[in-house]
Amino acid sequence: MGAFEKVPGTPPNTTITGGPTGRVRSTSATFSFTSSAAGSRFECRRDGGPWGACTSSKTYSGLTQGSHSFDVAASNAAGDRDPTPARRTWIVDTVAPRVVALSPANGATGVPPSANVLATFSEAMRPSTITGSTFRLVRHGTTSPLAATVTYDAAGRRAKLDPSSPIRRGALYRATVTTGVRDLAGNPMSTSRTWSFRIRP
């Protein structure tokens, strides 16, 4: 008996080798999978539906928003079926994120010179996309963004822009969150969000 042959009566082990995981933008999904037993047959199901015969590179399309699951089980030539089918779960998310809260508010006056600028998002964001390039603060009448530290609080879904030095009293400032920011699925905002406020004299 070869080193890789299965003992008759021993169920095979099924492994998913490719397919979506986590949050994804695509409404289609293709899964690849293998069995520990050569010549195995496979059965697949999606979202807890009925099992059906399938082959590797199984594709589903037209998937709805939200959570999905994929299960696959191998059966060897003797008919022994994997008692623990392989499973993969993922979330389809094609909805663009939005900025839902601002601080200072748009049009605010009397803002303290030491104030931070905050933008809260409608959903969890990809931290690596929230930087000084995608979240900027500019004094009215100028074009260069102020030097600042930009951070992201995942728990609060909130970005913070902390100017490196106190900003000018009495001046009007414009903050912008660009479409370069992305949610966990990779969706960008559909439009940039810009608002203005004035620092107190």
**2-12 pLDDT, tens per residue?**
445 545 679 99
Residue 93, classified by CB atoms within 10 Å of its CB into exposed (0-12), middle (13-18) or buried (19+), is: buried
Q: Report pLDDT digits (tens) over 96-149.
A: 999 999 999 999 999 999 999 999 999 999 999 999 999 999 999 999 999 999
pLDDT of res. 70: 98
Contact yes or no for 56/34 (Cβ under 8 A) = yes
What is the residue extent of each domain of the chain?
14-92, 99-199
Residue among 201, 125, 128, 117 nearest 160 (CA): 117
For residue 72, give the nearest of 18, 25, 23 by alpha carbon.
18
- Tell me, what's the pLDDT at 153? 98
Helix (H), strand (E) at residue 84: none
CATH of domain 99-199: 2.60.40.1220
Say if residue 1's pLDDT is above 90.
no
Identify the pLDDT of residue 8.
61
167 Cβ contact list (under 8 Å, min separation 6): 113, 137, 139, 146, 173, 199
Per residue in 53-93, pLDDT (tens digit) is 999 999 999 999 999 999 999 999 999 999 999 999 999 99
C-alpha torsion angle, residues 160, 165, 166, 170 (rounded to 10): -100
As a whole number, mean pLDDT of residues 33-58 equals 97
In single-letter form, the type of residue at position 8 comes to: P
Supply the pLDDT for residue 166: 80
Which fold, 14-92?
Immunoglobulin-like (2.60.40)
Contact predicate 92/63, CB 8 Å: yes
Determine the residue type at 56.
S
The reply to whether domains 14-92 and 99-199 share a CATH topology is yes
Cα–Cα distance list, 142 to 116, 166, 170, 186 (Å): 20, 17, 15, 32
Position 6 scores a pLDDT of: 46
CA distances to 1, 40, 132, 163, 170 from 125, rounded to whole Å, are 54, 42, 15, 22, 33
